[in-house]
Amino acid sequence: MKSFTLTVVVCLLAGGAFLSAPRALHAEQNRGAVFVMTNAATGNQIIAYSRREDGSLQRVGTFSTGGNGSGGTIDPLHSQGSLTLDADHRLLFAVNAASGTISSFEVDGTNLRLVDTTPSGGSSPTALTQTGDLLYVLNAGGNGNVSGFRVTPNGRLIPIRDSSKYLSGSATSPTSLALSPNRQFLVVAESATNNLDVFRVFPNGKLSDISVNASAGATPFALQFASNGALIAANASNSVSSYWVGWNQTLTTISSALPTLGAATCWEVVIPGSRFVYTANAGTSNLSGFAIARNGSLAPLGETVVAANPTGSTNLDTAASADGKFVYTLNAGTGAIGVFGVENDGSLSNLGTVGGLEASSGLNGIAAY
């Protein structure tokens, strides 16, 4: 019991205004971008990096979100998905936890243009999920709720009337939410109750009443859908699970709770194409890897732990490039980004780290294309 308690504590603790944007690298060099959110209490910002063909990064700009983050030290938002890109990497969305707002940006390479900053429909927004013109925000303050928005082609956020729904109780400690690829289901992880909440999403964006499902793994934390519709959950009990979502809003377990062999497993990234999922284990500063079968079942890659950051990195949020060739981790403990290459067999090659961020400063949120 003592070790499990420590794991949860690590996850809790570990776990548009243009400011400056030097000219982006030449198009032949710039193959993508990585964005990191400072979550600063006195002016939340997004830091942009250009990505070269070999996965290496160069910092190129800093952009204001128009709101305030929560501040803090390690993992103050206690969430996954505080910063997210749309599938076409044309729009970027961020939470401003202290302001109770969410922000949207137009993306042009590594340049961001703030389009909108709007109330989140609750208090302390900590996570976002978006597919097409639908975006939902998880508000962790108070009793916790989710609220929906329409996204216009240029990134404006329009609240969907009567789309807000409360979670299963008053002390749920929600950590993430995921919208299914077909936009018909929204799932929320409650880390304090071991529940996964499922809502039907109607064509007008409104949500059904809640359906509460027990998690197959204790302390569910991060949720992502694979492209085949399988729901993958990273659990702070150092395991991963997968599910099918039924039309009646019930979850059918596919893989129950496979051990990650790491500590403080709280974040995950599904590689584009949905062949592999990697978990970020903040307590051991490493990553675990699993293959995703067509039926949604999971199988460990090699010896499960597939890569490691330097000791003390406390790698939190993680993201993958749009081509599926690289994985990036936000190393909040050292103020760095971990860079890894994805091999054909799912193993990861360590390509080093990019420093220059303020360590233990409340960093949360990473997105990439």
Annotate the chain with three-state secondary structure.
Answer: CHHHHHHHHHHHHCCCEEEECCCCCCCCCCCEEEEEECCCCCCCEEEEEEECCCCCEEEEEEEECCCCCCCCCCCCCCCCCCEEECCCCCEEEEEECCCCEEEEEEEECCEEEEEEEEECCCCCEEEEEEECCEEEEEECCCCCEEEEEEECCCCCEEECCCCCEECCCCCCCEEEEEECCCCCEEEEEECCCCEEEEEEECCCCCECCCEEEECCCCCEEEEEECCCCCEEEEECCCEEEEEEECCCCCEEEEEEEEECCCCCEEEEEECCCCCEEEEEECCCCEEEEEEECCCCCEEEEEEEEEEECCCCCCEEEEEECCCCCEEEEEECCCCEEEEEEECCCCCEEEEEEECCCCCCCCCCCEEEC
What CA–CA distance (Å, rounded) separates 18 from 40?
16
C-beta separation of 332 from 74 below 8 A = yes
C-beta separation of 230 from 246 below 8 A = no
Task: Give the torsion through C-alpha atoms of 130, 132, 133, 136, to 10 deg.
Answer: -20
Question: Can you give the pTM of this predicted structure?
Answer: 0.93
Task: Please name every residue paired with 129 in a beta bridge, in sequence order, or none if there are none.
Answer: 136
State both tokens at 307. 């890569």
C-beta separation of 234 from 279 below 8 A = yes
For residue 352, the number of C-alpha atoms closer than 13 Å in the C-beta half-sphere is 6
pLDDT in tens, the chain (369 residues): 333 333 444 464 444 333 333 333 333 345 899 999 999 999 999 999 999 999 999 999 999 999 999 999 999 999 999 999 999 999 999 999 999 999 999 999 999 999 999 999 999 999 999 999 999 999 999 999 999 999 999 999 999 999 999 999 999 999 999 999 999 999 999 999 999 999 999 999 999 999 999 999 999 999 999 999 999 999 999 999 999 999 999 999 999 999 999 999 999 999 998 899 999 999 999 999 999 999 999 999 999 999 999 999 999 999 999 999 999 999 999 999 999 999 999 999 999 999 999 999 999 999 999
Chain CA centroid to CA 164, Å:
21
For residue 50, the number of C-alpha atoms closer than 13 Å in the C-beta half-sphere is 20
Q: What pLDDT is attached to residue 6?
A: 34
Q: What pLDDT is attached to residue 237?
A: 98
What CA–CA distance (Å, rounded) separates 214 from 194?
6
C-beta separation of 317 from 330 below 8 A = yes
Angle at 82 between CA 344 and CA 295, to 5 degrees: 40
**All structural domains of the chain with their residue ranges:** 2-368
CATH architecture of the region 2-368: 7 Propeller (2.130)
Rounded to whole angstroms, what are the CA distances from 29 to 107, 312, 342? 18, 32, 20
Q: What pLDDT is attached to residue 85?
A: 98
